[in-house]
């Protein structure tokens, strides 16, 4: 898989449902981060999980990391219409470069 | 909350012209970045900058591109001899206050939409 492959590409759910999106990467990492992008805007950092962590929570967000499978998932619980956005995972290996995945477009229908 | 600001929000230029995209990072941040995103697609790394020099650059960042931190607050991306395929959103980001490392989260500006005609 390519660094930062994400699936699904697009996800449409009803308000109140949970949304799960996945990210896979190729090389070893120091950390993995998730960002959100509203249409036409910059990316906003959501959560960072280090390579020695397996799960992390922040409000309605839950991120898991499986370094043996080189994969991560982002769960948004009790989704709201305002959660509609694109979600990107990003990995940092060594050095300064943060490499972004291709994104999942989430639509939450009211 | 401090934020990264980018100007202009939209720049239209003719092919072959030079453009300068401007960014004011968060004031106590030490690491600076430029990324680009073509038509809502993947966010591509261009360059990172620390301690007044380039830390890392991608294969996209060839001799056509240059970055500069001309004073204590601005961070610029210059694109020489623009091509049609340079049309994209260009995002500036900063991270890492004193004592932090590259591993801290990035704070992005809202981007400059560059249109090359």
Tens digits of residue pLDDT in A18-36: 999 999 999 999 899 999 9
Kindly tell me if the per-residue pLDDT of B91 is higher than 70.
yes
Chain B residues inside the 8 Å CB shell of A30: 103
- Using alpha carbons, select from A89, A63, A65, A78 the residue that is nearest to residue A19: A78
Two tokens, residue A16: 């109140």
Q: How far is A77 from chain B (nearest CA, A)?
A: 23
Chain A residues whose CB is inside 8 A of the B45 CB are: 97-100
How far apart CA B67 and CA B49 sit, in angstroms, is 8
**pLDDT confidence of residue A3:** 67
pLDDT at A1: 41
In this prediction, residue B71 carries a pLDDT of: 87
Over the stretch A27-83, which tens digit does the pLDDT of each residue have? 999 899 999 999 989 999 999 999 999 999 999 999 999 999 999 999 999 999 999
Of A43, A97, A102, the CB nearest to B56: A97
**Average per-residue pLDDT for chain B:** 93
How far apart are alpha carbons B59 and B46 in whole angstroms? Answer: 8
Phi and psi at B86, nearest 5°, equal -80, -10
């Amino acid at each position: 898989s390519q660094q930062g492959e994400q699936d699904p590409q697009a996800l449409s759910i009803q308000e109140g449902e949970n949304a799960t999106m996945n990210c896979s990467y190729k090389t070893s990492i120091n950390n993995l981060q998730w960002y959100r992008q509203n249409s036409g805007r910059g990316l906003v950092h959501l959560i960072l999980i280090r390579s020695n962590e397996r799960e992390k929570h922040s409000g309605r967000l839950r991120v898991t990391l499986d370094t043996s499978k080189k994969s991560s998932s982002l769960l948004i619980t009790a989704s709201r219409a305002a959660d509609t956005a694109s979600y990107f995972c990003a990995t940092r290996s060594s050095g300064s470069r943060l490499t972004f995945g291709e994104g999942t477009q989430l639509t939450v229908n009211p | 909350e401090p934020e990264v600001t980018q100007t202009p929000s939209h720049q239209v230029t003719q092919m072959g012209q030079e453009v300068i995209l401007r960014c004011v990072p968060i004031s106590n941040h030490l690491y600076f970045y430029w990324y680009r995103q073509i038509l809502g697609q993947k966010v591509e790394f261009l360059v990172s900058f620390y301690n007044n020099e380039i830390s890392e650059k991608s294969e996209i960042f060839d001799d056509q591109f240059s970055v500069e931190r001309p004073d204590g607050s601005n961070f610029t991306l210059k694109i020489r001899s623009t091509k049609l395929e340079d049309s994209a959103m260009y995002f500036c980001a900063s991270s890492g206050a004193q004592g932090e490392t590259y591993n801290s989260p990035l704070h992005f500006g809202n981007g400059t939409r560059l249109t090359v005609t």
